[in-house]
Amino acid sequence: MAHNAFCDDGRARIVCDASRLSKCAALNLLAECARGEILVFVDADVQVEPQTLRLLSEAFFNDPKLSLAFGRMIPQSGSSPYWTRIGEMTSQALHAIRGLPDGSGLWLVCGPLFAIRADVWPRLPDGLTSDDVYLGVLFTSNGRQVLYLPEAVAFGMYPQTMRDLISQKLRNRIARLQLRTLEGEAFRRVPLWMVSFALPRLKCAAIRHLPILLIDTLLCAVALLLWAAGHKANPLWKQLPSTKLR
């Protein structure tokens, strides 16, 4: 499919590897092969607004000190109005956290859409699950400039079933636990529960997002209990069918 889409575009380069790499190993390979100054990473299951790439590139052009910029994923309507609404509430809470005036939420990089300056790309640890949060924590703790661009938009699907949502929460919590095993105080302090991080920082605005923060905490706790009891397999590399765009 990729060959068919870009075979006539001389600017495109398709990188293939015979071995089945982990995600972070694949990202490292792409960073090594890239020829541009700015690396933009977009998930395969999102649709990017036409102006999004321009907004990301202009941010780096306007600020030579900028190391990483990321956009916002807005949920599309799915098969379940209820779970679609949960996705919308989650997206709104993430937007509020990432946009905190003091910048304390910039570690929560939007994985489906982010860009990084090529000359500051750090080699990602192989086997790491959460490349986006790893980069966010690493850069913010090292004093590198990170920017949230909510007007740089990608549209994607949030889980549309309880099973997929539980799997997503489990994957995210295990990824956070994995980050806590890395060296550095900033990694050891990565929040496991968004409610404990968000409430004291959002202050009065937290009232609006309290329902979804509590729902998130409950679902994460259920996911971890099911996994610990052996009733839920580790879904780190399992796709969530209901999040795929039709």
- According to the model, what pLDDT value does residue 226 have? 84
Confidence of residue 17 (pLDDT cuts 50, 70, 90): low
Percent of the chain with pLDDT over 90: 65
- According to the model, what pLDDT value does residue 239 have? 52
Q: 221 vs 2, which has greater pLDDT?
A: 221
What does the domain layout of the chain look like in residue ranges? 2-243
Mean pLDDT of the chain: 88
Q: In a 3-state reduction of DSSP, which class is residue 148?
A: strand
Question: What pLDDT digit, counting tens, does each position of 94-147 carry?
Answer: 999 999 999 999 999 999 999 999 999 999 998 888 999 999 999 999 999 999
Residue 148, pLDDT > 80, answer yes
Question: Can you name the CATH fold of 2-243?
Answer: Spore Coat Polysaccharide Biosynthesis Protein SpsA; Chain A (3.90.550)
List the one residue out of 74, 69, 34 whose CA is nearest residue 55. 69
- According to the model, what pLDDT value does residue 7 have? 54
Residue 241, pLDDT > 90, answer no
- According to the model, what pLDDT value does residue 237 have? 45
* Other beta carbons within 10 Å of 174: 18
pTM of structure? 0.89
List the one residue out of 117, 17, 112, 7 whose CA is nearest residue 57. 117
Rounded to an integer, the average pLDDT of 50-60 is: 95
Q: State how beta strands 113-117 and 38-42 pair.
A: antiparallel
Beta strands in the chain (DSSP E): 38-42, 47-48, 66-75, 113-117, 145-156
Question: What pLDDT digit, counting tens, does each position of 7-16 carry?
Answer: 565 666 676 6
How many distinct helices (H) and strands (E) make up the chain?
9, 5
Confidence of residue 160 (pLDDT cuts 50, 70, 90): very high
